[in-house]
A and B are shown apart, each in its own frame.
Chain A
């Protein structure tokens, strides 16, 4: 055990809050040491693949792992800041802070002048039979395996919890190639943002409200789950049990602040349910009841990464003021103001009530709720449809619009409004929207409409390919041709498809059939769905024509397997009901026979 002195600031935890606080202190020349248990810093940011909400200047519309890269890079550029990974702070005493080197199994005792505790949170656990079976993961663990290490935790997943994390991780599991069988939610409404819910619904993932998991099935590892419906008093209703065949159960029922070090250091702790459980009391400078100990991020109350970064910076600036007497009051006020605005919307009502219990001041602000929309006056013009109906703190649509056609306004919780007369149809907003809630739309002259769908899946279709157009619940609406694919540098590509105008407003997703596994319609002649669709598009609009062109039903089975399926494709593509289509000619022989059998004529011959 060795002691080290002359340290201005010790930051515990290298997530968004810790990195941001360390950065403010480092910028002012303080000596900073940031300690983290993981192999690299960035905290949970490194596994967040979605674009962040929030506003300009605070990494809005940037993906989480990219935010981590930027923060890490900047902190590494300061000579007065040092990062220690694979190290663990195990206690905070008035006369020293022991830090364990986990690699070497040694301990150093630090005497920092100030401490910023940004230790984050831990997964909440849920009580059900067999809940400790391997294959039952917290949502963060699934993200770590999948997005950090590139390993799929399983193939078939049951998600428990429909808060933002449950919704986001479900979406990410589908992106990574797993199948999410259902999202189970005990409450009678979805917990997370509507835009996140819409994203998973249009993938076809059912959200079962008023349901709970009662048991995990399996001996050594998860093989299934039993789910039951809940009554009004949150008790499982007997007889409603349903079994899901899954190899993975993902629990996303919330987080608890990791307050162990704060509590142990003597900070006054209070149970505030709205903030996730026990939290240290702190003022709006993020100072706890132990004057030299600050908190920021999830340890001070469960919220999200944008507010964690702002809290970290507020703590960092206050620490600078404590130690140097200098304070960038303007910046501090700006940060506090931004935080207040961020939390002023309806989606932050829980956070506000929690902070009020801490003695903090946060108000709900007025925000504009209605979209004044003159969408229909601009028929034929390529323009965005913004399906953002819930006030959430987010405004990249406004800040990314090059012509200022979209307005969110002063309160970033407001619903965006769009001035279609100014919109040029550039589609940047659709690629920037973190909620993937902006679709491009144009009515064409031939009774079809083109829809640009933000698409973050593989395989990416190609122009001219046929895909299934899906509705808001992932249901198949019709077959659609891909008009074009606009690739975006931020990987939210826009796939434009052409669909009949009468169904266009219901289409919000696509299903791209895998190219390698083209489905066969005619087994004998190995003709695929795609070949038939292409032929129909080229003008072969009758079964006999298709037969002659593609050899459908000219094989040994005589069309027994493929005739009706071909007619159904023809019906779907042309809009003519099957009963009105000509079934085609039925030719002899009805079964394959040899020429010999036909040439030779029976018993008499053999007797000669």
Chain B
């Protein structure tokens, strides 16, 4: 899990650098990236623990269809992090169980 620095066909013009928080840790991302992509770029691919068997789960479809990437974002559970853009200061947490709405 690393950023591709050179590619024979594509050039990745990253826009503005931003920071967000994962489990309280401040991480770097680029504006326009999905939350799940930004986490991958930081070496994190364990996104949640499954509701019944408490198994680690990660990104599977990355286009908002499979719901494997549900996380808690700014206190809101069950956010599809593969299609939700990361925004400055966002607080992202691994979700356990079916998620709880924080106060």
B91 within 8 A of A: no
| A348-365 near B? 1/0 per residue, CB < 8 Å | 000000000000000000
Q: How far is the CA of A38 from the CA of B34 in the complex (A)?
A: 10
Contact (Cβ within 8 A) B41 A151? yes
A258 within 8 A of B: yes
Chain A proximity of B9: nearest CB distance (Å): 5
Q: Which residues of A contact B41 (CB under 8 A)?
A: 149, 151
B98 within 8 A of A: no
Q: Which residues of A contact B25 (CB under 8 A)?
A: none
Given known A151-B2, A151-B41, A221-B45, contact A134–B66 (CB-CB < 8 A): no
Contact (Cβ within 8 A) A491 B8? yes
Contact (Cβ within 8 A) B4 A134? no
A91 within 8 A of B: no
List CB contacts (< 8 Å) of A123-151 with chain B.
123, 125, 132-138, 140-141, 144-151
Q: Which residues of A contact B85 (CB under 8 A)?
A: 39, 86
B27 within 8 A of A: no
Chain B proximity of A579: nearest CB distance (Å): 42
Q: Which residues of B contact A475 (CB under 8 A)?
A: none
Q: Which residues of B contact A220 (CB under 8 A)?
A: 46, 56
Q: Which residues of A contact B64 (CB under 8 A)?
A: 37-38
A599 within 8 A of B: no
Q: Which residues of A contact B12 (CB under 8 A)?
A: 149-150
Q: Which residues of A contact B56 (CB under 8 A)?
A: 133-134, 219-221
Given known A144-B37, A175-B9, contact A134–B61 (CB-CB < 8 A): no
B50 within 8 A of A: yes
Q: Which residues of B contact A59 (CB under 8 A)?
A: none
Contact (Cβ within 8 A) B60 A137? yes
Q: Which residues of B contact A177 (CB under 8 A)?
A: 4
| B1-24 near A? 1/0 per residue, CB < 8 Å | 111101111101010000000000
Chain A proximity of B84: nearest CB distance (Å): 7
Chain A, interface residues (CB within 8 Å), range: 35 or more
Task: Count residues of B near A (Cβ-Cβ below 8 Å).
Answer: 38
Q: How far is the CA of A470 from the CA of B27 in the complex (A)?
A: 43
Q: How far is the CA of A578 from the CA of B52 in the complex (A)?
A: 66
A456: nearest chain-B partner, CB-CB: B8
Contact (Cβ within 8 A) B61 A122? yes
Chain B proximity of A260: nearest CB distance (Å): 10
| B29-43 near A? 1/0 per residue, CB < 8 Å | 000111001001100
Contact (Cβ within 8 A) B62 A458? no
Q: Which residues of A contact B62 (CB under 8 A)?
A: 137-138, 140-141, 144-145
Contact (Cβ within 8 A) A221 B60? no
B78 within 8 A of A: no
Given known A49-B9, A135-B58, A221-B58, contact A152–B4 (CB-CB < 8 A): yes
Q: How far is the CA of A176 from the CA of B8 in the complex (A)?
A: 8
Q: How far is the CA of A258 from the CA of B32 in the complex (A)?
A: 26
Q: How far is the CA of A136 from the CA of B58 in the complex (A)?
A: 8
Q: Which residues of B contact A122 (CB under 8 A)?
A: 61, 63, 65-66
Contact (Cβ within 8 A) B10 A49? yes
Max chain A C-beta neighbours (<10 A), residue from B9, B45, B66? B9
Q: Which residues of B contact A65 (CB under 8 A)?
A: 10
Q: Which residues of B contact A140 (CB under 8 A)?
A: 61-63
Given known A39-B83, A145-B62, A221-B45, contact A151–B3 (CB-CB < 8 A): yes
Contact (Cβ within 8 A) B7 A150? yes
Chain A proximity of B14: nearest CB distance (Å): 8
B36: nearest chain-A partner, CB-CB: A145
B47 within 8 A of A: yes
Contact (Cβ within 8 A) B66 A458? no
Contact (Cβ within 8 A) A491 B58? no
Chain B proximity of A259: nearest CB distance (Å): 12
List CB contacts (< 8 Å) of A142-176 with chain B.
144-154, 175-176
Contact (Cβ within 8 A) B60 A123? yes
Q: How far is the CA of A120 from the CA of B65 in the complex (A)?
A: 10
Q: How far is the CA of A37 from the CA of B84 in the complex (A)?
A: 9
Contact (Cβ within 8 A) A153 B1? yes
| B81-102 near A? 1/0 per residue, CB < 8 Å | 0111100000000000000000
A63 within 8 A of B: yes
Chain B proximity of A448: nearest CB distance (Å): 27
Chain B proximity of A65: nearest CB distance (Å): 8
Given known A39-B85, A458-B6, contact A151–B50 (CB-CB < 8 A): no
Contact (Cβ within 8 A) A258 B40? no
Contact (Cβ within 8 A) A176 B61? no
Q: Which residues of B contact A221 (CB under 8 A)?
A: 45-46, 56, 58
Chain B proximity of A598: nearest CB distance (Å): 54
Max chain B C-beta neighbours (<10 A), residue from A134, A145, A175? A134
Q: Which residues of B contact A146 (CB under 8 A)?
A: 4
B59 within 8 A of A: yes
Q: How far is the CA of A38 from the CA of B7 in the complex (A)?
A: 24
Given known A102-B84, A258-B65, contact A150–B58 (CB-CB < 8 A): no
Q: How far is the CA of A146 from the CA of B5 in the complex (A)?
A: 11
Q: Which residues of B contact A176 (CB under 8 A)?
A: 4, 7
Contact (Cβ within 8 A) A134 B83? no
Contact (Cβ within 8 A) A152 B2? yes
A457 within 8 A of B: yes
Q: How far is the CA of A150 from the CA of B65 in the complex (A)?
A: 21
Q: Pick the contact of B47: A120, A134, A152 (CB < 8 A).
A: A134
Q: Pick the contact of A145: B9, B40, B55 (CB < 8 A).
A: B40
Q: Which residues of B contact A102 (CB under 8 A)?
A: 83-84
Pairs A–B under 8 Å by Cβ, sample size 19: A37-B64, A44-B63, A49-B9, A122-B61, A125-B60, A134-B58, A137-B58, A137-B60, A138-B61, A138-B66, A140-B63, A149-B33, A151-B2, A219-B56, A220-B46, A220-B56, A221-B56, A221-B58, A456-B8
Given A63-B9, A125-B66, A220-B56, 8 extra CB contacts under 8 A: A138-B61, A149-B33, A150-B7, A150-B14, A151-B1, A151-B4, A220-B46, A221-B46
Q: Which residues of B contact A (CB under 8 A)?
A: 1-4, 6-10, 12, 14, 32-34, 37, 40-41, 45-47, 50, 55-66, 68, 82-85
Q: Which 8 A-B pairs have the closest CB atoms?
A: A134-B58, A150-B12, A141-B62, A122-B65, A144-B62, A149-B37, A134-B45, A150-B4
